[in-house]
Amino acid sequence: MPTFAHLLPPSWKTAVTAWLEEDTPSFDYGGYVVGEVQREAFLLGKGKSIAVLAGVPFVDEIFAQLGCTVEWHMSEGDTFEPVKKVATVRGKARHLLLGERVALNLLARCSGIATKSRYFLDTARANGFKGIIAGTRKTTPGFRLVEKYGMLVGGIDAHRHDLSSMVMLKDNHVWSTGSIKQAIETVRKVSGFTLLIDVEVRSEVEADEAIDAGADIVMLDNLEGEELYAVARSLRQKWEGKRKFLIETSGGIDENNLKERAVNDIDILSTSAVHQSVQHIDFSLKIQLPKEEKEGGPAGSSTV
C-alpha cells in the first residue's frame, strides 16, 4: 500500500542530519542534566481546533538518528481533535530531548500546511468546484520538500516543485524576450515534449497569443469576478476543437475569496495561502516517569 513517505527522494535524510546539527552545534547542556536513562514520552497534538497530521516520516527519521523509536497512534493524513496523544516516543532521555524541538517545529509547520490545504480543498468541493487546488513555489528555501509534502498530505496538488519540473513563463520572461509568442517558441526548442508550458497572462488578448503559440496552461493572473468568468468562457468557446489547454487562476486567493474564484470555468486554482503565513499546529512532547518513580518522587513530578 503506497504511503506519502514513498514519494521522498533518497537524499532527504541528509536534511534531518543538518537540522539536528543546527540545533546542537556544540555541547548539550540540558542533556547533561537528564542523562541517558530510558524514558517514554507522549507526543500530544494540542492547539484549539481540528487538525491534519502531517510530517510522520520526518519525525521518524529525527528520532531514528538519535536511537529512539516512534509508535504512531493514528495515520498520516488523519484529522484529530486536541488534545490527542498522536504518538509515543521511546529512548534515552537525553536523546528524546535532542530531537524534541526539531521534531515539534517540523510537525507543527507540516501539519499546519496540511490542515490549511485540506480546508481549501473541502471548501472548494463544497462549492461545487471540480478542478485542481494547487500550492505555489513561494516556499521557504531549504524547507520546500517538507512544505510541498504537507500540501500533498492535505489532499491538494503541489504544483511545480522547482524551475526544472515545469516551464512557467511570467511577465519578466515575456518582457525580456519581447513577446509571449517568442518566449514560448524559444523555450520549446530546449524543453522537449515532456514538460508543460504554463504562461502567465493579464488579459484575453495575451491568453489568445499564448494559446495560439502552443501554451499548455494559461494563468489568468489577478483576474477576478465577472472579468475572470467572462475571459475563461470566451477562451473555451473560441478555441474549442482547435487547441488543448488548461485555464489557471492565481493571485491573491485566500479564505475570503476562495468560493468566488473556485468556479468550474477554471481548471486550476493556485494559491500561496496554504503555506505562507499558515497557522502552525501546536504539539508537545511530555516525558513520562515510570509508575514506581512517580510514587516515590515529589508531588507533580510526572514529567521532565
Q: Which residues are catalytic?
A: 138
CA distances from residue 59 to 92, 101, 128, 254 in whole angstroms, order as listed? 16, 11, 36, 29
**Biggest CA-to-CA distance, the chain:** 81
Contact present, 88 and 43 (Cβ < 8 Å)? yes
Contact present, 254 and 278 (Cβ < 8 Å)? no
Which residues make Cβ contacts (< 8 Å) with residue 262, sequence separation at least 6?
123, 124, 127, 129, 131, 133, 269
- Positive or negative, the CA dihedral 282, 285, 291, 295 is negative
What is the C-alpha separation between 44 and 89, in angstroms, rounded?
11
Which residues make Cβ contacts (< 8 Å) with residue 124, sequence separation at least 6?
131, 133, 258, 259, 262, 269
